[in-house]
Amino acid sequence: MTWSPLATETLSALVEHDSRQTIELDFDAAADVAPDATGRAVNDVLLEAERRGWIVGQRDEGDGSIAWWSTLRLTVDGLRGLGDWPPAGREHELGVWDDGHWGRRARPLLESLHAKPPAHGFYLTPVGEETTRWLEWTAALLLLEAGLISGRIGDDGVDTLRITPEGAHALDPTPRNPLHVAQAKLRSGAPVDAIITAVLALGGRLKEIAADRGVPVTHTDGRPLTLMKLSVNLREAGAYDETDRAQIEAWLKLRNDLVHPDGTAVGDARVAAVIQSIGVFLDEHP
């Protein structure tokens, strides 16, 4: 679904929505969340957003002219669609999400939970408290949904709350295994970034092998060799066999096909297989 102005206006109004407050939509009257639209139009937006997994909540309808939405909030996918939440694996990067829900609510809560974990791992549901505390509770649910914290949700709150490795990385983006980064980029819908990251890791390892073998990584005039040419030279130097060289050539060709598409479709499954194969090569050639 392309974000229409009405969809953007309606869902943006839910970013800071207190989920305790029920939204009443009179189908023939202007809606509070989008005054220029009727309740029916806003209700249609919410139904589509619910179908897409952008919101969660409870809907009830009267005589066909009115609807009520309760316990309503945006999901992580909905916030990402608005630019209010970063893609998976890129939480530590600067982006428009720093001015959105992520930067205002979720990240500060994640930092607080990391610096001062709740006693005995219990994060309690607010009871009869102000809107700010309920917005914090919504942020906790979103952190759980995004996999940045873990725990069991019960009637009283979250039990055995922990910061996950992904959550820790969001706060401390120290260098990680580049292939894990590549896999995260692929999961977030960025196959080009994923394959580029994986090939960068491969290139770094080829240069290390070259240094160990005394194989030059540049031309005589100082220009760097392409990874394809470097791989050929390493094969000739006995660093690995022809099977490895042919495999590296195929990986580099896939990278080129994704970066400079020629009409040939490259599916995510194939990219994932290449990332895994590069990982095997790196393990076999430390």
Residue 176: CB atoms within 10 A of its CB come to: 12
CATH number of 81-171: 1.10.10
For residue 221, give Cα distances in angstroms to 53, 216, 218. 56, 12, 8
Angle 90-94-99 (CA atoms, 0-180°, nearest 5)?
110
Q: Cα(264)–Cα(282) distance, rounded to whole angstroms? A: 28
Coil/strand/helix, residue 59: strand
- Residue 40 phi/psi, 5° resolution? -65, -45
The CATH number for 178-284, chosen from 1.20.120, 1.10.3470, 2.60.120, 3.40.50, is: 1.20.120
Q: Which helix (H) or strand (E) holds 223?
A: none
pLDDT computed for residue 187 by the predictor = 83
> Whole-structure pTM over 0.85, yes or no?
no
Residue by residue, pLDDT tens for the chain (286 residues) are 457 899 999 999 999 999 999 999 999 999 988 888 999 999 999 999 999 999 999 999 988 899 999 999 999 999 999 999 999 888 988 789 999 999 999 999 999 999 999 888 899 888 877 888 999 999 999 999 999 999 999 989 999 999 998 999 899 876 567 888 888 888 878 888 899 999 999 999 999 999 999 999 998 888 889 999 999 999 999 999 999 999 999 999 988 888 877 656 778 898 999 999 999 999 999 8
Which residues on neighbouring strands pair with residue 48, listed in sequence order?
none
pLDDT computed for residue 2 by the predictor = 56
Q: Are 183 and 122 in contact (CB under 8 A)?
A: no
pLDDT computed for residue 176 by the predictor = 65
pLDDT computed for residue 129 by the predictor = 75
Q: Which residue, chain included where needed, has tokens 């202007």?
A: 30
Closest to 227 in 3D by CA, of 237, 219, 217: 217
Closest to 158 in 3D by CA, of 166, 150, 146: 150
Residue 171: CB atoms within 10 A of its CB come to: 16
DSSP symbol at 54 = S
pLDDT computed for residue 286 by the predictor = 84
Domain locations in the chain? 5-74, 81-171, 178-284
pLDDT computed for residue 243 by the predictor = 93
Q: Are 151 and 158 in contact (CB under 8 A)?
A: yes
